[in-house]
Amino acid sequence: MNQELSRLAAELGIDAQQHEPLRLAFGLACVRRVQHLLEDPRAIDGVSVLAAFVEGRSDRAALLQAAQETAAVANSHRGSNSIDGSAHAAVSATYAVAKALAGQALEAAGYAAYASVYAYGGYAVNDPTAFEAEHTWQVQTLRELAHSCTSG
């Protein structure tokens, strides 16, 4: 868990209804970092739907439908029997998309971080330092997005 991100999110009041655009934009930023790990076309399409919604090119009905579809894909993902954990990276990336579409930004960030670390190899998830770069990026990105949402 990214404690600094959790503190920043609480400070920003990110769960408040008026911060939905920030939650969705941050979730999108996180999933874009791991979208290359996605395997299922429906999850890949989910990223496109989220981007379209964040950019004002899609409606809430499309967002909700993509959220349901991607959650189903994530829940039924086959995972990995391999020792390297590469398919686990795809599972975590898929969950990141599902959570981002649902407006659950911190959960999306958590799954995206796991996806990123799993991509190194399954062994890495047991090393807290393997998450440091991703966690630092997440905090900086949320700060930047929050600033642009309040100043723009």
Give the pLDDT confidence score for residue 128 in this predicted structure.
77
What is the distance between the alpha carbons of residues 145 and 69, in angstroms, rounded to a whole number? 27
Please state the pTM of the whole predicted model. 0.91
Taking all residues of the chain, what is their mean pLDDT, rounded to a whole number? 89
What is the distance between the alpha carbons of residues 53 and 131, in angstroms, rounded to a whole number? 29
| Stretches in the chain below the pLDDT threshold 70 | 78-87, 121-126, 151-152
